[in-house]
Amino acid sequence: MYEFEFVKPTTVADAVAALGEEEAQALGGGQTLIPTLKQRLAMPATLVSLTGIAEMKGVKAEGGTVTIGGGTTHGTVAKEAASAYPALAALASNIGDPAVRNRGTIGGSLANNDPSACYPAAALASGATIVTSSREIAADDYFQGMFTTALEDGEIVTAVRFPVPEKAAYIKFEQPASRFALVGVFVAKYADGVRVAVTGASEEGVFRWSEAEAALSANFSAAALEGLSVPADGMIGDLHGSKEYRAHLVGVLTKRAVAAA
């Protein structure tokens, strides 16, 4: 790692001010950023740790909405969202491994928007609202392709609001070495329709599978998906799986998610 200054503000306002400095970078749980720094792929002058900000931590459930502070770890979501939004808690409990879950945060995951991360699928399928230090962004507008989001420089994800669905499930086909999703599908059924979000598969990052959404909104059963498939074009193809393989997994996992919901 190149050397950097380390600061640890205790309020969002102080963190925003610190991030306004030249070459400053926010640090969540560090489970992606620290490995990146070790490889010298980034060279911030200052790291602004968000782990000391109490107002960004915790899980709150009220009136059909679960609100999770941006600095809340996966381990805490797995425990504290279990009764209010079980599919979301189950997703959190399968990210990485226990030690990673004790550091990694939902805000960090969403800000990074890794194309194989689990949380983007939950946020997009739930039609979540990403609350930042300066505004609120609908999930549909937030994800803008691999490692790209609507966040401006220095903007912090302070909370995420999930409307709780009637039924939901997330199924991931795990890449066993990294435990990221080779493909992951989150299906969520709301009174006004079904949303299906796919992670790990597309070169554009997380996306909604609208044909499946239409079919499932009319008939919420795995049988409704018979004959539907996503094109292999635009899927990720690498040594872990070809484009065709990933496209096939999208169909299989969506059916499994519907059956599990």
What residue ranges bind another protein (CB under 8 A)?
A: 1-6, 8, 27, 30-31, 34-35, 37-38, 47, 49, 51, 75, 96-100, 102-103, 177, 179
CB of 78 to another protein, least distance (A): 11
CA distances from 37 to 1, 52, 92, 109, 182 (A): 5, 21, 25, 16, 24
Q: How far apart are CA 226 and CA 65, in angstroms?
A: 32
CB of 37 to another protein, least distance (A): 7
The C-alpha atoms of residue 4 and residue 190 are separated, in whole angstroms, by 46
Measure the CA–CA gap between 7 and 15, rounded to whole angstroms: 9
Q: How far is the CB of 122 from another protein (least distance, A)?
A: 20
DSSP letter assigned to residue 165: P
Residue 193, token pair as written in the block: 């329709």
Nearer to another protein, 2 or 223 (CB): 2
With respect to another protein, which residue has the nearer C-beta, 63 or 176? 176
Q: Pick between residue 38 and residue 135 the one whose CB is nearest to another protein.
A: 38
**Residues paired with residue 187 on neighbouring β-strands, in sequence order:** 169, 196
* CB neighbour list of residue 55: distance below 8 Å, 6 or more residues apart: 11, 12, 69, 158
Q: Under 8 Å CB-to-CB from 122, ≥6 apart: which residues?
A: 87, 88, 91, 128, 162, 170, 186, 197
Our CB check for another protein shows the closer of 32 and 242 to be 32
50 vs 187, which CB is nearer to another protein? Answer: 50
Q: Which distant-in-sequence residues (6+ apart) come within 8 Å of 207 by Cβ? A: 124, 197, 198, 201
| Nearest approach, Cβ of residue 64 and another protein (Å) | 30
Strand pairing report for 5-7 and 59-62: unpaired
In the complex, minimum distance from the CB of residue 35 to another protein, in angstroms, rounded to a whole number: 6
- Please, what is the end-to-end C-alpha distance for the chain in angstroms? 44
> Please, what is the minimum distance in Å from the beta carbon of residue 244 to another protein?
29
Q: Considering beta carbons, is residue 89 or 197 the nearer one to another protein?
A: 89
Considering the complex, state which of residue 25 and residue 133 has its C-beta at the smaller distance from another protein: 25
Report the nearest approach of another protein to the CB of residue 159 (Å). 22
